[in-house]
Homo-oligomer: A and B are copies of this chain.
Amino acid sequence: MSPVLLKAGVWGVVATPFSGSTFDVDETSLARLVEHYEQAGVTGLTVLGVFGEAAQLSGAERRAVLETVADTVDLPLVVGATSLGTAPVIEEVRLAQEVAGDRLAGAMVQANSADPGTLARHLRAVHEATGAGLVVQDYPLVSGVSIAPGALVAALRDLPFVVAVKAEAPPTPPAIATLTAGLDVPVFGGLGGIGLLDELACGAAGAMTGFSFPEGLIACVEAWREGGYAAARKAWLPYLPLVNFEQQARIALAIRKECLRQRGLLLESSVRPPAASLPESLSEQLKRHLAEVAR
């Protein structure tokens, strides 16, 4: 059975809420958060991604997060792998399969080499060991690996088990144009939606990101499908100041979690160190942006 391509639309990248001075995983908030995503109408959820602070979680915590999400909602799930090496990625994918079962729409694996052949062998080995469909994430800021869009096409062209690409190597719009021209898989933008209009114009199948108002992402992507640029622009415009505010280098995670908290979706907004917390100087502006979007 060949893996199924990821459905177009909006995949919400789920934050991992923490509580108290020991930063324990707050499963209650997590459940509330993913219920909100489901009610908002997302196509699916992406769990244990960068915005989910997966690199800060123990194995037991990763399992608990996955279980909570899988138990709470009925959405298809993409589950991220944090490692770059083949053997530990296989281990992570197996955990995802074990917990998510046939709800696993794809295991998200990072591009770990600039060389198409090396990357293809990595992905093939992960698939052969697990049978999972793979979402390939190109996110050099996190992986430390830069691969040119053309080389990424070459790497993925003959891999029938690749079910989507997540393109997060700026400039993403022309990269998405190259990827969608060369591959028959859906390509998603990320990066908080900062380039969403342009990514859609270049062929993106939607957005996979953790912007604190998935409603906005959905409104934009649906408007694009039905009315093209003008409609999508109109739908997206009210969210754009908050999008840019959230997508600030190094502090995006802290900002988004505080937005989610002020929306009532998390009880606390803390991030695990060494990630930076929210600068006090941004508190007022955060409230202003939220008030406008909430209108």
Contact = CB atoms under 8 A, between A and B. Distances in A.
Given A171-B249, A173-B248, A174-B281, A55 B85 contact: yes
A233 B91 CA distance: 47
A272 B121 CA distance: 11
In this complex, the member of A91, A122, A174 whose beta carbon has the largest number of chain B beta carbons within 10 angstroms is A174
A86 B275 CA distance: 11
Interface in A19-75: 53, 55-61
Contact of A288 (B56, B84, B229, B251): B229
Given A122-B274, A272-B85, A273-B86, A233 B237 contact: no
Interface string A201-242: 110000000000000000000000000011001001110110
A144 B83 CA distance: 15
A118 interface: yes
A206 to B, nearest CB: 17
A170 B249 contact: yes
Contacts of A263: none
Contacts of A238: 237
A137 interface: no
Interface in A186-213: 194-195, 197-198, 201-202
Contacts of A201: 284-285, 288
B292 A118 contact: no
A83 B112 contact: no
Given A58-B91, A240-B240, 8 more contacts: A56-B87, A118-B273, A174-B279, A174-B281, A174-B282, A230-B292, A233-B292, A240-B241
23 contacts: A53-B85, A55-B85, A56-B88, A58-B90, A59-B88, A112-B274, A118-B273, A119-B274, A170-B249, A170-B250, A171-B250, A174-B251, A174-B279, A174-B281, A178-B281, A195-B245, A197-B285, A198-B244, A202-B281, A202-B282, A202-B285, A230-B292, A244-B244
